[in-house]
Amino acid sequence: MDITIRHAEPDDYEALHRIFSGSRVIEGTLQLPLPSAEMWRKRLSEKPESMYALVACADGEVVGDLALETHPTLWRRRHVGQIGMAVRDDWQGRGVGTALMEAALDLADTWLNLTRLELTVYTDNQAGSSFRLSEISLSSWSSNSSQSTPLTSGVPSSPKTTRSLSIL
């Protein structure tokens, strides 16, 4: 099975509507349940320049979504990107999230010059807290931590070596 990552297009709104209509996705994100297709159409067609939307495609359909938000006008957060992602319920556990994260890391490191990426995961979000960021397993972090914790020490040189994780 090949997973292809590309930038999201406004025409992907129906696929994102389907992804975010899944019960497992809604339980694991900050999104409200029962999203309308129109809301997704508008979100994709009017996204700010500081938002990079990626989708994962498999078997000719969109099965995952990752948004990378930057803060170019917040001087103390210009180096930070925040990630939100979801994988369609029936595609979870098949490498889609890992492929999206690898593409986001490459975008952040190679093109956006970000040195920190942040991902917030609920403690009961099994998919979000158990997939691997490169060699680091998120499930190894304390599930009662309430602060962002750098995954490496020292001076960050790229998001491939420095990431943070908040567990709620």
Residue 122: closest CA among 153, 86, 91: 86
Per-residue model confidence as pLDDT tens for the chain (168 residues): 799 999 999 999 999 999 999 888 888 777 778 888 998 999 999 989 999 999 999 999 999 999 999 998 888 888 899 999 999 999 998 999 989 999 999 999 889 989 888 887 776 766 666 654 433 333 333 333 334 444 433 344 455 555 555 444
The total of other beta-carbon atoms located within 10 Å of residue 98's CB is 17
**Per-residue model confidence (pLDDT) at position 107:** 93
- The set of residues, in sequence order, having a beta carbon less than 8 Å from that of 167 and lying 6+ positions away, is 120, 121, 122, 123, 129, 141, 142, 143, 144, 145, 146
CATH code given to domain 3-118:
3.40.630.30
User: End-to-end CA distance of the chain, in Å?
Assistant: 33
pTM: 0.75
For tokens 């914790």, the residue is 149
**Per-residue model confidence (pLDDT) at position 31:** 77
Q: Where are the domains of the chain?
A: 3-118
